[in-house]
Structure 1
Amino acid sequence: MLRVIIADDEETIRNGLKTLIESYKLDLSVIATAEDGEEAMALIEKYHPEIILMDINMPFVNGLKVIEKIREVDKNSKIIIISGYNHFEYAQKALELGVFSYLLKPINFRNFKDVLSKAIDAYYERMWEIRKLKEDNDERDDSKDVGQLVLTYMKENFSYNHLSLNFIAEQFHISQSYLARIIKQKTGTSFTDYLNKLRINMAIKLLTDKDMDYTINDISNMVGYSSQHYFSRAFKNYMGVSPNKYRNVNKYPKI
């Protein structure tokens, strides 16, 4: 599931966009919203979302400046500008920055869903292109190179609940036993333990986020678990306490 951050200085628009996205039942999860440019940059640096919805005119730092900063470190996220201003210079600058789409307020609901669907497809296609380029440029019989590619792939895709040893082995055209061995060599843990570690670390960030109050089920879905029960069990095995107890202690500490 791809992660989405919404940045707009109007609360009604932020909430409206979030509700719309959730109603479309796409492969998207809104993990955070921002009311100004500075907050948007902080959230994007924290969560590294795949899809970003960005207003242009916001307090402190405008949306185009935020996008410039994003593009310095992330060339692949799909950014959709949602603006009330139909200025040529804005659209021109957005094009230079590689913005995926430029939508004008008020949003056309049907068109918005279509744009989001295309952004999802474009992101997955780009990830596939990057992976193929890595495959072409790396020696496939070098376990060190393959291992690093696999770990990078897992870090970028751990939130997809279909991720499995067999699935990744097929993507890299290697056997499951060979994949399990190089993951053990690189991390000192099994495939399952390493995948759980990636997911639990992101879950910890979401559980202790001061600005959001996700349900345990929401977090379970965001980090890639197929059920809340399995997530809670994995979290307790890893952290020694349940997700709820961890949040109560670390997000709402007693004074």
Structure 2
Amino acid sequence: MLEMINDIHRDKLSKLRILYVEDDSETREELSMILQSWVDVLYVAVNGSEGLNFYRKYEPDIVITDIQMPILNGLGMSSEIKRIKRDQCIVVLSAYNDVEYLFKAMELGIQHYITKPVMIDRLQAKLTQIAEFMSLESEALRSRKLLEQYKLMVDEKAIVCKMDSEGFITYVNQHFCALSGYTEH
């Protein structure tokens, strides 16, 4: 059963491009090996400055970052990333269980915060949840575009008049207006 659940997680994660930013070499090596086995592409940076440069260059789906790092810390990097793309998904991994860091992360719009030592199953579940959400967002966008295309096609080719149950007109398209001589209002 556990293997089946792991297969489901891997399938959801296998299309992701992740930027992982960690200054501790041992932690970075271990977690990089695990992440590499889950995702399509993994970019690894050793500090916030390098992470920001990688972000600009590769535009990953998800950013995973430590907080305390040299040159530019994780929250500083995240702030810069949020200026570039406000809705960028960022997961903070930190050994610091300080409420102040959590509040700063929340102020930046970071909704995912996992404390170290990282429990691999928790990280995998969080990334899977994020991947599912991203997939749903993408599907909703595709559906909206299809609906807009359909509406445009209908409005250009057909005469449309919509009435409510009491017989009041609630919607008309331009062809109806042209044929009837009435305005949309």
Q: Settle same-fold status: TM greater than 0.5.
A: yes
Q: 1:138 to 1:56 in 2, by over 3 A?
A: farther
- Kindly name which structure, 1 or 2, has the bigger radius of gyration based on alpha carbons: 2
Q: Note the C-alpha offset of 1:127.
A: 2.5
RMSD of aligned Cα (Å): 2.1
CA distance in 2, matches of 1:94, 1:35: 20
Q: Secondary structure at the match of 1:103?
A: strand
Residue type at the aligned position of 1:32: Y
Paired residues, what number?
A: 139
- In the superposition, relative to structure 1, how do residues 129 and 40 fare at CA in structure 2: closer, same or farther (>3 Å)? same
Partner-residue secondary structure (3-state), 2:43: strand
Is residue 2:64 matched to residue 1:53?
Answer: yes
The offset of 1:126, in angstroms, is: 2.4
Equivalent position SS for 1:32: strand
Counterpart position of 1:100: 111
Structure 1 equivalent of residue 5 of structure 2? none
Alignment check: 8 A CA contact 1:6 1:30 kept: no
Q: Distance in 1 between matches of 2:60 and 2:129?
A: 16
Unmatched 5+ stretches in structure 1: 143-255
**Which structure has the highest helix share of the two?**
1
1:62 corresponds, among 61, 73, 81, to 73
| Partner residue, 1:9 | 23
Greater fraction strand: 2
Contact 1:84 1:105 in 2 (8 A): yes
Aligned counterparts of 1:136 and 1:72: Cα–Cα separation in 2: 31
User: Contact 2:91–2:112 at 8 Å: present in 1 too?
Assistant: yes
SS of 1:46's partner is helix
Cα displacement string for residues 48-84 of structure 1 (whole angstroms, at most 9, x for unaligned residues): 0001111111111111111111111223332110011
> In structure 2, what is the Cα distance between the partners aligned to 1:71 and 1:44?
11
Distance 1:62-1:136 versus aligned 2 partners, 3 A rule:
farther
**What is the deviation of 1:137?**
6.1
Q: CA deviation at 1:15?
A: 1.6
Kept after mapping to 2: 8 A contact 1:18/1:30: no
Give structure 2 stretches of 5+ with no counterpart: 1-14, 154-185
Q: 2:50 aligns with which of 3, 23, 39?
A: 39
| Alignment CA distance shift 1:51-1:136 (3 Å) | same
Contact kept in structure 2, 1:77 and 1:123, CA below 8 Å: no
TM-score (structure 1 length as normaliser): 0.50
Q: TM-score of the superposition, structure 2-length normalised?
A: 0.67
What is the aligned-residue identity percentage? Answer: 28
Match of 1:118 among 120, 129, 133: 129
User: SS at 1:59's partner residue?
Assistant: coil
